[in-house]
Structure 1
Amino acid sequence: MRRAIAIGSTVMVLIGLTLLYLLTQATNNRELYESSYQTLFMVNVVVASLLVGAIAWVSYRLVTRLRQGRFGSKLLLKLATIFALVGVAPGLLIYVVSYQFVSRSIETWFDVKVEGALEAGLNLGRVTLDTLTVDLAGKSKAAAGLLAESPEGASGLIAEKLLDQLGATDITIWSGSGALIVSTGQSKFQLSPDKPTNSQFRSARQQRSLAWVEGLDDVAMDGLTTARIKALVPISNPNLGLASEARYMLVTKALPTSLVGNALAVDRANREYQERALGREGLKRMYIGTLTLSLFLAVFAAILLAVVLGNQIARPLLLLTEGVNQVAAGDLTPKLALQGRDELGGLTRAFASMTQQLSDARQAVEVSMSQVNSARAHLQTILDNLTSGVIVLDPTGAIVSSNPGASRILKKDLVQFEGQLLSEIQGLELFGAGAKKQFDILVEGNQDQAIDHWQQPFELSGSVSTVNSPFEGPVTLVARGAELPSHHQLLVFDDITEIVSAQRAQAWGEVARRLAHEIKNPLTPIQLSAERLEKKLTGKLEAVENAILIKSVKTIVDQVDSMKRLVNEFRDYARLPAAELKPLMLNSLVKNVLHLYDLENTKVPVVLELDPECPPVLGDAEQLRQVIHNLLQNAQDACLSATTTHDTVRTVTIRTQWQSANRRVRLSIRDQGDGFSENILKRAFEPYVTTKTRGTGLGLAVVKKISDEHGSRIDIGNIQKDGVILGAQVSLSLAIAPDAAA
């Protein structure tokens, strides 16, 4: 760009100097001026247009930079304005003075009086010619009257006399059809005299006379006196006959040579004067155009100098500004630096060095941040895969973040509750309030002694279920809390429900085993002793005492049998063998068990709803048969002991269902009894928890133990409709056999 500007400026200056030289040569050489005027004028216009375009382009660039707010644009504009004023103000003053001088000087070259005298001489010549023409037309008209009064045979003689009287050089008489009748003067010696045209005949007839001047241009060409005046007048015909033809007289009179010469000299001088006047305007325009071109050259040079010097001054500042903007945008790539020895060059080098140092520092920070992000990603992966629940709370108890384990244990999507107090989430009110209380105690304790955490067990109670939302049972948690450095609160908890349940089952199993061992040993001697007493004393006592003996022995034996059954149940619960899982058809097993529950053997009908699409499941047939027996027996007992009214006969429903979504088979047994109370639901699977007056409470405990052996999920809940309990339901979800997956 700089090279193009330099070349363009040089070409403009050379063209301007060339035009100025040609102008000086043209003013001294009239022929050169006249031949080169158009060329000089067009070149002048082209150069001026190019200069105007260049100045406009430079001005547009400056205004654009100013509107864009680029640093240094105001400085460039000020420099351009100053240099333009320095170049334009004197140039404009010189231009105005030169314009006035040129205009007035050229005007003085031409005398206004001379121009007026030439115009007056031309007018005088025209008036003289017009007077001679009118005079000849009048005399010719009077002579035509004489010819009209004389006979046609005497027309030639009369024409000869009129030739002398009128001072004419030639008189001819023509018929209306253009035939020559009489000729006198020089026309006698011409074979074909000049005949008027038809239009001239018609004009003479209409105007009664016609006169004109001929030969002025010929005189100007060869210098001979051939200029003449011609008059054409009609000759009236005294005869009234229709056959008579009209006649015309053409009079030709030569103009004086001196008069014609003077008129032509005045006309020639006036023509040359007007040509010089036209040249005067062109010369004036040439001078003014050259002055304007010089002004443009000065303005262009001033603005160009301003731009060049302004760029030299503003370039380091612009470089620094661009670098600062890049650094502000985060771009710390190496920056350009000027190698000059001035202060601005040193400033650019210092800025480039500072940017490099910042880039090195940012790279070190990025490495550290990468390590931190990697550690954070590892920590997040660990948190996401922890079986423990982790919740971060703010000082008010609102949830800040949580891991998937927390949502899984609490069975709620805690991400949706972020920003909400833990104690305000439905079902977690007690847990949230208890955790808040423990954190408050921890904060107060930190003021007195170094306490860094707290640990507390919690029990989350389940709610009474519906058919579509089975009861999950109570959840036992052990929670641990600590305060983070950011004053947030860390809550970590584990679901120990299964551990507590297993420990409880193990403890009950140990109790059952010991009770079975300690109780069973004395039962046989007691029964044998009672039977021996009955055998020895029968028939030896009175009838009344004998009846009492027999009744007492029977009571002892019956109670011993009852204790033996209880001991056997304890033994079975404690010694439940490990399940031998094999593929089996659950529907066939259910049908096999229900043979024992036909209408002849049971008081409560059993309804079958078996899904024919159920695939084989993995299970122990004997243990699953025991599960079905226990659940059916509990369901029938619930229907028989129900206290609420029922419109129809109470029934027990056993259902199988293939769940393709989770690829499991669900076994459900539903009754139409009074349902479970809430306190029983919380501990339904614990041993010796029962609502029956004569039950042991081991039925559901055995079912839960067998379910755990099969790796299945067991759900228990009430069936509700419009808030009314219609019965209870127990369901097991069994895994399908591997061969049935296809």
Structure 2
Amino acid sequence: MNASDGQPRSLLEGSRALRGAFAVGLLVAAALAIVLLFLLTQATGNRELYERNYGRLFVLNMVVGGVLLAVILWVAWRLISRLRRGRFGSRLLIKLAAIFALVGFVPGLLIYVVSYQFVSRSIESWFDVKVEGALDAGLSLGRATLDTLASDFAGKTRAAAAQLAETPDASAGLTLERLRDQLGATDLVLWNASGQMIASAGQSRFQLTPERPPPQQLRNARTQRSLAVIEGLDDPGLMAISNARIKALALVPQPSWGLLAETRFLQATQGIPPALVANAIAVQEANREYQERALARQGLRRMYIGTLTLSLFLAVFGAILLAVVLGNQLARPLLMLAAGVREVAAGDLSPKPALQGKDELGGLTRSFADMTHQLADARAAVEKSMEEVNAARARLQTILDNLTAGVIVLDAEGRIQDTNPGATRILRAPLAAREGRKLAEIEGLEAFGAAVQQRFDDYLNDRSQSNLGHWQDSFELTAGPATGGPANSVTLVARGAEMPGDARLLVFDDISEIVSAQRAQAWGEVARRLAHEIKNPLTPIQLSAERLEKKLTGKLEEPERAVLAKSVHTIVDQVDAMKRLVNEFRDYARLPAAELKPVDLNALVQDVLHLYAREGDAASASQVPVRADLDTRCPPVLGDAQQLRQVIHNLLQNAQDATEGRPVREVLIRTQWSEPAHRVRLVVQDSGIGFPEHILKRAFEPYVTTKPKGTGLGLAVVKKIADEHGARIDLKNRTDNGVVQGAQVSLSFAVAS
């Protein structure tokens, strides 16, 4: 899963976290509920335990309630924070959580209210007046029964004591055995006034130190003649049933024959029936517990209500956790689908997560993931096809961009639809910026555009007869004025063809260099023949004229001699001029091949300028000055130093000749280093009248000149040397607000690597 699956991944991680939180919370809640229920049960069944642990139970209830409330608030805060952050699906989760929480809270609240009322009324009903009266009556009945038994046993003991009045101490033991059987007592003891045992019958015979009656009982028995005491009822549990007994103490009457006889007491012990003891103890315990609970019923009520409240918190907590988990279980597939749909709508067809469940929502996520995968495969196939088409188009565009020929696509009305850089370079017009306009409406190309449109019309009209798939023709036009560049005559050979969609393809090439080379070759051949055919007869003509002057000088009169001298001088001067012309043609035709070596162009310019400075010292004040502006950053160029010196000399000489007689008399020679183009440029500017339009188009052809006495070979030689050096040469007039300010010739040389 990539980065684009961040939101589905967060949903999965969030669901795992919520499930973990729900499981932990459920276990904690269940454990706390069991512990508190156990403590509550123990406390309600044991008043002492309840009173002893009430504070702890209360604190524990508050802590558990606070923890549950904190968890509920934390869950609510998480949901609200998700909503505020704009997390996708937050509203749905909150809605589902609210629904489930409401479903769990409302029944819990109803049960809580009912239970609260039930507990309150039940606790109050436990302590009803009738119940309390019944317990008091039962307790009184038990006491009355025991008192009756004790009184009856005390009377019987007093009667038995009367039978011992005439019995001496020595024979008292046998009498006690008989009396024990009559009374049904478990033990009889005869005590004297000082608490000493005289005789006994029953269990006391086997005791070394029988329990003596307290002195208070002896005094009471002396005054009341008899008394009975119930013992053992306060012993715990089963011991009270087995140890419960009635002890009766009676005064033995004094014998009539012994006035000074010692006072004696008869103590009789009889067990109480166990059933009666058990019932009495039960009634007593019930009454005691009833009174204790009656005193602690407010605390018990608070305990039950606190337990109910805690149970409500547990129910609400469980309902909210269940709501979040179940809501997340229901919303997670929908949120995954919604997030996936948004990503697909945004163009992201990366693999989407799917649930592995067997229900319909899980199947829906798997189907959506499969659909996304199929869409991704289809888009990959389309993209691959588009890449192939774009690659083919790029290859075609690369071919068109690197063609030396110009290519223009026109519509049926001659509007430009597409061009390549070659067309802009050849026509020297920004054709790419003129798309949508007619070719005949572009400045400088009006005649060319009209001729091309006419040629297409003729071709389409005659196509059925000629059976040709294209037409071909040559055009002569002046390129450059529209862009402010040098106006040069350009010879084009163009071919036109029809394209699908009623479009027209125009392919053309600049053959000006070929034509110029052919003309240069032709002029070279002419120069070679002229040098050969004309130079040979010039020397005999000059010698013959000089010989005639020498032979006839002394034989003619003064007037005829002057005419002869003037004619011979004219013949010699013209022959010299013809020789110079022939030598120039010979030099143009026999220009040697350039030997390209690294040359410092600045040093070469300065060397030539030294010659002009020396010439200026000896010349008149009318000599045109030459100013140099040399770029010190210029690296060495590839060139032939001798031929480049000739180029500089020819350009400076032409510039001085053009500036002669002008108000501003200055010639500027400048070098420039173009780092982006990696070339060095040599520029020569004059302040003359510039070149006429018809001369500007053919300035580099031999015998094309504006000088009255010029041969027109200067720029032709410069052009030929520039071609030998692979340099680009440009010629243009310098203008200021449409006024010609002079001419400029520039050459661009490649630097030495």
Q: TM over 0.5: same fold? A: yes
* Paired position in structure 2 for 1:689: 704
> What secondary structure is seen at the aligned counterpart in 2 of 1:429?
coil
Structure-2 change in CA distance of 1:51 and 1:484 (3 Å): farther
Q: CA shift at 1:12, angstroms?
A: 1.7
- Of 369, 377, 382 in structure 2, the residue corresponding to residue 360 of structure 1 is 377
Q: Quick check: 1:429 aligned with 2:436? A: no
Structure-2 change in CA distance of 1:325 and 1:575 (3 Å): same
* Paired position in structure 2 for 1:53: 70
Q: Is the 8 A contact 1:719 1:725 kept in 2?
A: yes
Distance in 1 of aligned mates of 2:431 and 2:640: 39
Q: Aligned AA for 1:358?
A: L
- Of 608, 626, 640 in structure 2, the residue corresponding to residue 590 of structure 1 is 608
* Paired position in structure 2 for 1:34: 51
Q: Quick check: 1:283 aligned with 2:297? A: no
**CA shift digits 1:455-480 (9 cap, x unpaired):** 76463444599xxx995745555566
* Paired position in structure 1 for 2:142: none
Q: Is the 8 A contact 1:391 1:400 kept in 2?
A: yes
Structure-to-structure mapping, 1:615-630, within 5 angstroms = 623=643, 627=647, 630=650
Distance in 2 of aligned mates of 1:654 and 1:11: 100
Distance in 1 of aligned mates of 2:691 and 2:542: 39
Distance in 1 of aligned mates of 2:311 and 2:461: 92
Q: Aligned AA for 2:722?
A: S
**CA shift digits 1:596-640 (9 cap, x unpaired):** 945666784253556897998766566556556655654554455
> What secondary structure is seen at the aligned counterpart in 1 of 2:517?
helix
Q: Quick check: 1:89 aligned with 2:106? A: yes
Q: Quick check: 1:574 aligned with 2:589? A: yes
Q: CA shift at 1:39, angstroms?
A: 2.0
Distance in 1 of aligned mates of 2:76 and 2:412: 64
Distance in 1 of aligned mates of 2:693 and 2:358: 92
Distance in 2 of aligned mates of 1:660 and 1:65: 62
> What secondary structure is seen at the aligned counterpart in 1 of 2:625?
strand
Q: Is the 8 A contact 2:409 2:503 kept in 1?
A: yes
Q: Is the 8 A contact 1:396 1:421 kept in 2?
A: no
Q: Is the 8 A contact 1:388 1:492 kept in 2?
A: yes
Structure-2 change in CA distance of 1:437 and 1:288 (3 Å): farther
**CA shift digits 1:466-520 (9 cap, x unpaired):** xxx9957455555667788799987766444433322332233344455666777
Q: CA shift at 1:90, angstroms?
A: 3.5
Count of paired positions = 565
Query: Which consecutive residues of structure 1, in runs of 5 or more, have no partner in the other structure?
Result: 113-272
TM-score (norm 2): 0.57
Moved more, 519-528 or 618-627: 519-528
Q: CA shift at 1:291, angstroms?
A: 1.9
**CA shift digits 1:635-675 (9 cap, x unpaired):** 554455x4x6x3xxx866575758596674847474x5444
Structure-2 change in CA distance of 1:558 and 1:10 (3 Å): closer
Q: Is the 8 A contact 2:679 2:749 kept in 1?
A: no
Distance in 2 of aligned mates of 1:48 and 1:433: 99
* Paired position in structure 2 for 1:677: 692
Aligned-residue sequence identity (percent) comes to 64
Distance in 2 of aligned mates of 1:361 and 1:85: 48
**CA shift digits 1:286-341 (9 cap, x unpaired):** 22222222223333344444445445544444444444445445554544444444
* Paired position in structure 2 for 1:347: 364
- Of 506, 520, 523 in structure 1, the residue corresponding to residue 521 of structure 2 is 506
Structure-2 change in CA distance of 1:56 and 1:486 (3 Å): farther
Structure-2 change in CA distance of 1:43 and 1:565 (3 Å): closer
- Of 605, 609, 631 in structure 1, the residue corresponding to residue 623 of structure 2 is 605
Structure-2 change in CA distance of 1:511 and 1:307 (3 Å): same
Distance in 2 of aligned mates of 1:470 and 1:497: 17
Query: Which consecutive residues of structure 2, in runs of 5 or more, have no partner in the other structure?
Result: 1-16, 130-289
Structure-2 change in CA distance of 1:595 and 1:402 (3 Å): same
Structure-2 change in CA distance of 1:432 and 1:56 (3 Å): farther
- Of 284, 303, 313 in structure 2, the residue corresponding to residue 296 of structure 1 is 313
Distance in 2 of aligned mates of 1:59 and 1:433: 82
Q: Is the 8 A contact 2:440 2:448 kept in 1?
A: no
Structure-2 change in CA distance of 1:29 and 1:579 (3 Å): closer
Moved more, 677-686 or 610-619: 610-619
Distance in 2 of aligned mates of 1:97 and 1:369: 74
Q: Aligned AA for 1:696?
A: T
Q: CA shift at 1:362, angstroms?
A: 3.9
**CA shift digits 1:374-397 (9 cap, x unpaired):** 555555655555545567899999
Structure-2 change in CA distance of 1:373 and 1:461 (3 Å): closer
> What secondary structure is seen at the aligned counterpart in 2 of 1:697?
coil
Structure-2 change in CA distance of 1:50 and 1:580 (3 Å): closer
Structure-2 change in CA distance of 1:281 and 1:471 (3 Å): same
Q: Is the 8 A contact 1:395 1:489 kept in 2?
A: yes
Q: Aligned AA for 1:93?
A: L
TM-score (norm 1): 0.57
Q: Is the 8 A contact 2:89 2:335 kept in 1?
A: yes
CA RMSD of aligned residues (A): 5.8
> What secondary structure is seen at the aligned counterpart in 2 of 1:459?
strand
**CA shift digits 1:517-546 (9 cap, x unpaired):** 677789899999999999999999999999
Distance in 2 of aligned mates of 1:312 and 1:408: 69
Q: Aligned AA for 1:430?
A: G
Q: CA shift at 1:34, angstroms?
A: 1.6
Structure-to-structure mapping, 1:625-644, within 5 angstroms = 627=647, 630-631=650-651, 634-635=654-655, 637-638=657-658, 642=661
